[in-house]
Structure 1
Amino acid sequence: MNSNIEIKHIEKSKIDTVDFNNLPFGSVYSDHMLTCTFKDGKWQDAVVEPFAPISLDPSAKIFHYGQSIFEGMKAYKDADGNTLLFRPLDNCKRLNKSAERLVIPQIPEETFMNGLKALLKVDDAWIPTKEGSSLYIRPFMFASGNGFHASPADEYKFMICTAPSGAYFAGKVKVLIEEKYARAANGGVGFAKAGGNYAAQFYPTQLAIEKGYNQVIWTDDNTHEYIEEAGAMNIFIRINDTLITSPTNDRILDGITRKSIIQIAKDLGINVEVRKISVTEVIAAAKSGELKEMFGAGTAAVISPIAGFGFQENDYDLPELEKPYAALLKKTITDIQTNKAEDPYGWRVQL
């Protein structure tokens, strides 16, 4: 594949119609997108082109067999106007891990990074500078080849679209521990960022919303005894001064924010345990006052504090702490991401 990327500029930018001081999350789109097609057994040249609808045949296999995966990333501006990314190669590696599981051709790292850089260069003005805002980046791949036969497609699309965005969640959330539905099963695709994983979450999440909760805490598919994830995020639970998170497996996404939190927390002297944690243990800690914090962790929200949770018709409120780990860890990560602090890990990439 040629590393040259064709640039097709939009005739007239729509950036002047956007209020950068009041950005929603993920629903205002930048001027351009990156497209790369896999056909005839290889990836073709990538193109940066105006953001626009795409045309697919009704028989495209994405519609019938769900070969679709994605990633979530962000670009930031520092005080000097430099464009910054956070652990982008980890996103590329995880996208390819998802691709392997869904029999989608893996995207070369060179194509991923060169395409991303070219797109961000063209849409540089779309990267917000307001505190708490960022350019959300959505790389995704899907089966564009045609046919009703239940088999992998022969053509695929790799695309990157971007959206200047404000905060994902406003304030703390209230969650319901799930006792019936499962997000993923052993041997399944829970570890992959497959679109179908998220589609399957919507119904039980909607049921929780109808009961007055914002999200679901997922438990294991077999016994529903162990805490696994919080909505579309990894989950951390603080009991006394120990921070606990579930180990990754077939069912749990290997979150990049999760990995970053574990490393930073250890370096801050926080005791971190990566182990299975039961619902019973969490309830007991809540009743004894030892449960101090729960929070979700992911690219979109970075860290989303949980104010309380429900289980078996009972509600449990978490205490208001003067110096929560969630706030400390979020500030530490976002300061690294936005070049307000040193990056001892080499996670920050300047374009």
Structure 2
Amino acid sequence: MSQTLPIEFAEQPHPSPTTPEKRAAILRDPGFGRAFTDHMVTIRYSEGKGWHSAKVGPREAIPMDPASAVLHYSQEIFEGLKAYRTANGGAVMFRPEENARRFNKSAERLAMPSLPEKTFVEAVDRLVAIDRDWIPEGEGSLYLRPFMFANEVFLGVKPSSEYLFIVIASPVGSYFKSKDSAVSVWVEQELTRAAPGGTGAAKCGGNYAASLMAQMDAYKHGCEQVVFLDAVERRWIEELGGMNIFFVFDDSSMVTPPLGGTILPGITRASILTLAKDMKIAVREEPYALDQWRADAASGRLRETFACGTAAVLTPIGTVKSRDGDFVIGNGGSGAQTEKLKATLIDIQRCRAKDMHGWVHKVF
């Protein structure tokens, strides 16, 4: 159902928000995804009525019937984006319109209603504005989690007729707990994240649930993340459990696996492709095999590898482990090209560099 009429938001400030002293203590070391702000956004959808009852109000528990459709048939999607504090005390977000577009593509794949993109952006704008004091200073940020799930009460395999869209926010620091300059990854050679024709390109909870067993194996092998191969040949590198991946060669060129329905189209990934073009760096979107990764690392042809995503930004990969043995990339740490791309992207996100592409969205 397409909805063109504007959606009016009601606003109800929290009656007893977190005290400034307690909030300051949390913001000194927020971690990632453990602390939450005082408010949330909710919008309801009903078949025949469309989106309605938009509200910015206190963050609270969600009443849920045990027969709610999401608990049985997993109609659920989400997004992740950040708000940054600027030097003049304002706040900005990075490409939220792209999150809105991807959200609706995920919704389409899971037979869920689309949310007007302007409403999506207004929802995150309103939450950032009301919880502005929760945006950390320095290199921290406010992580925003818009999500939607089926909440019709029924048992039967069909698309739900009712949905709830919610946005919550969490002040965050670094995504990875390790203080090393690069992370280690485990290559999963049996379990797969997504298959052709599946939901790999949708940002839905089921994809992440399917990755957790392999992620546990990665932890057992001393790695921070897992790398998945394709579901057909178990040969081609696809993506990490929650991030895209790039390979940097000795001629400065880069390769990243092509999108094709099994890989999430990352907004950070797309931004890196644009920045690389600006920097005259040749990037090929083409399949790259595990055996080739190992051989190129051994020969020195491959100089750097990095993962990228909203939460982790650009994170260098130093060591690769698998059932066939381990190998090290470059010097096992970060590399010059990874650091240059990362610094350029972060400077744009935080308004420290000129935004040539209109990516920065001002909240206030």
Q: TM-score range by the shorter chain?
A: over 0.9
Picking from 119, 122, 146, the partner of 1:111 is 119
Whichever residue aligns with residue 325 of structure 2, its letter is N
Match of 1:331 among 323, 338, 343: 343
Letter in 2 for 1:3: I
Question: TM (normalized to structure 2)?
Answer: 0.93
Aligned to 1:264: 275
User: Would you say 1:275 and 2:286 are equivalent positions?
Assistant: yes
What is the DSSP-based 3-state SS (H/G/I as helix, E as strand, rest coil) of the residue aligned with 1:149?
coil
Q: In structure 2, what is the Cα distance between the partners aligned to 1:61 and 1:322?
A: 45
Shift of residue 212, structure 1, vs aligned partner:
2.0
Separation of aligned partners in 2, 1:145 and 1:163: 28
Q: Which residue of 2 aligns with 1:138?
A: 145
Output the amino acid matched with 1:105: P
2:297 pairs with 1:286: yes
1-structure distance, mates of 2:222, 2:123? 42
State the superposition RMSD in angstroms: 1.3
2:34 alignment partner in structure 1:
27
Q: What is the TM-score normalised by the length of structure 1? A: 0.97
> Given the alignment, which residue of 151, 154, 158 partners 1:151?
158
The farther-off stretch of 45-54 and 304-313 is 304-313
SS at match of 1:261: helix
Alignment of 1:4-15 (within 5 A): 4-15=8-19
Q: CA deviation at 1:5?
A: 0.9
Which residues in structure 2 correspond to 1:1-351 (within 5 Å)? Answer: 2-16=6-20, 17-18=22-23, 19=25, 20-41=27-48, 42-130=50-138, 132-169=139-176, 170=178, 171=180, 172-240=182-250, 241-320=252-331, 323-351=335-363
- Output the CA distance in 1 between the equivalents of 2:13 and 2:334: 50
- Deviation of 1:167 after TM superposition, in Å, equals 0.9
> Is the CA contact (8 Å cut-off) linking 1:34 and 1:115 kept in structure 2?
yes
Q: How many residues align?
A: 350
**Does structure 2 conserve the Cα–Cα contact (< 8 Å) formed by 1:255 and 1:298?**
yes
In structure 1, the gaps of 5 or more residues are none
Contact residue 60 and residue 143 of structure 1 kept, 8 A: yes
1:57 & 1:275 partners in 2: Cα distance?
46
Identity in percent = 39
Equivalent pair of 1:15/1:126 in contact (CA under 8 Å): no
Deviation at 1:322, TM superposition (A): 7.9
1:45 Cα deviation (Å)?
3.0
Any unmatched runs of 5+ in structure 2? none
The aligned amino acid for 1:9 is P
